[in-house]
């Protein structure tokens, strides 16, 4: 074991044992290694705080009042053998804080998002087809990395006690990756109902469903601009005969290969579609800067190893590419708070040499 791992293990053990003891209340965050939480080159980030400590914590999205995050977590200690949805009250962050599970605890979930008013949220879940976590794809003989797009995913609305209030989708095939417009009136999501994973929008009550994209390839992870007029999303666009065959063959297995993706932008009705990046490799998890004039995203285009991702920012015209984070392994899922003051993201930083992906929040500096 390295000194870093030993040190992290000792600190974790001491703090875990103290969680059951009565302590003086404090809001101060303590971490094993400040240098592993924030790197000197990260000039746009300050006051970086680690919110979760163990497991896989990803896709954390702000409540409309910026007080809470809703996120998906895999952590057996929290009763989540595969991704379940939790609500995290940011001001309560410390080593002992446990977020509250607000999904059913059954099946697998993904992509939660608060609805206007912060009393309900939406998320996708497979629980209607069984209590067990659906199986992960088996390792492939060609060693290619794939994502499953389970056809049992549908989108639901629930309250903060975990009670499902409404089912928004019920079409055959994958329905997931839903996010909400800043005004709270529209939802964008990915669906396989046409036979190809495309973007759709609907009203917040599930009505008036409209198809937004139609190009061959996976379209997903879409977000509205701050004024609600545009969408940014990730997409694969197979072009050669070989790429198209591989894409379609995988899709028949309920799989997509996310190792070659670029960012696309369009109006909220699908018009004026443009490719924003042409960097190669995997560019994904895009989100609008509070100004509406830039996009922050995760990419491995500058990395020798395929799993090494950092955050970058780019202007809407494709100029001004700037690196934002400098972790040695993985940074992704960047999301600005509604007031534009904070950035939440997921990272492998400071995980003591484990495979844990944790959630971090930082103050944003222009």
What are phi and psi for residue 13, nearest 5 degrees?
-65, -45
Domain limits, the chain:
53-364
* Predicted structure pTM score: 0.91
pLDDT of residue 35: 60
Instruction: Note the pLDDT of residue 181.
Output: 98
Q: 34: which 2 tokens?
A: 């400040």
- At residue 34, the pLDDT reads 58
- The CATH class of 53-364 is mainly beta
Q: Among all chains, which residue has been given the structure tokens 């929008």?
A: 201
Q: Taking all residues of the chain, what is their mean pLDDT, rounded to a whole number?
A: 91
- Sorted by sequence, the CB contacts under 8 Å of residue 135 that are 6+ apart come out as none
What's the confidence (pLDDT) of residue 306? 78
Of the candidates 170, 173, 222, which has an alpha carbon nearest to the alpha carbon of residue 201? 222
pLDDT of residue 142: 86
User: What is the rounded CA–CA span in Å between residue 195 and residue 312?
Assistant: 32
Distance in angstroms (rounded) separating the CA atoms of residues 326 and 39: 7
Low pLDDT (below 50) residues in the chain? 1-18, 20-33
pLDDT of residue 119: 98
């Amino acid at each position: 074991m390295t000194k870093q791992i030993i040190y992290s293990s000792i600190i974790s053990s001491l703090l875990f044992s103290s969680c059951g003891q009565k302590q003086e209340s404090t809001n101060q965050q303590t971490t094993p290694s400040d240098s592993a939480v924030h790197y000197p080159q990260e000039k746009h980030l300050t006051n970086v705080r680690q919110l979760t400590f163990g497991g896989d914590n990803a896709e954390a999205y702000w409540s409309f009042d910026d007080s809470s995050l809703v996120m998906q977590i895999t952590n057996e200690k929290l009763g989540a053998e595969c991704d379940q949805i939790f609500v995290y009250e940011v001001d309560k962050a410390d080593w002992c804080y446990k977020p509250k599970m607000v999904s059913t605890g059954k099946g697998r979930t993904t992509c939660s998002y608060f609805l206007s008013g912060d009393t309900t949220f939406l998320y996708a879940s497979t629980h209607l087809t069984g209590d067990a976590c659906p199986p992960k794809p088996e390792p492939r003989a060609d060693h290619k990395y794939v994502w499953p797009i389970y056809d049992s995913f549908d989108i639901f609305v629930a309250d903060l006690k975990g009670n499902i209030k409404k089912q928004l989708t019920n079409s055959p095939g994958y329905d997931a990756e839903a996010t909400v417009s800043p005004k709270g009136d529209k939802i964008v999501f990915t669906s396989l109902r046409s036979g190809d994973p495309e973007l759709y929008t609907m009203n917040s009550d599930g009505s008036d469903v409209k198809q937004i994209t139609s190009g061959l390839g996976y379209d997903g992870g879409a977000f509205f601009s701050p004024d609600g007029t545009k969408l940014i999303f990730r997409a694969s666009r197979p072009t050669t005969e070989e790429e198209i065959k591989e894409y379609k063959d995988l899709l028949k297995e309920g799989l997509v290969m996310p190792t070659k993706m670029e960012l696309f932008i369009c109006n909220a009705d699908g018009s004026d579609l443009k490719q924003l990046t042409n960097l190669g490799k995997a560019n994904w998890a895009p989100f609008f800067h509070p100004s509406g004039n830039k996009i922050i995203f995760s990419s491995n285009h500058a990395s020798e190893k395929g799993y090494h991702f950092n955050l970058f920012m780019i202007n809407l015209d494709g100029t001004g590419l700037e690196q934002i984070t400098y972790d040695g392994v993985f940074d992704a899922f960047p999301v600005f708070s509604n007031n534009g003051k904070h950035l939440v993201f997921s990272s492998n930083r400071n995980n003591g040499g484990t495979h844990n992906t944790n959630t971090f929040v930082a103050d944003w500096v222009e």
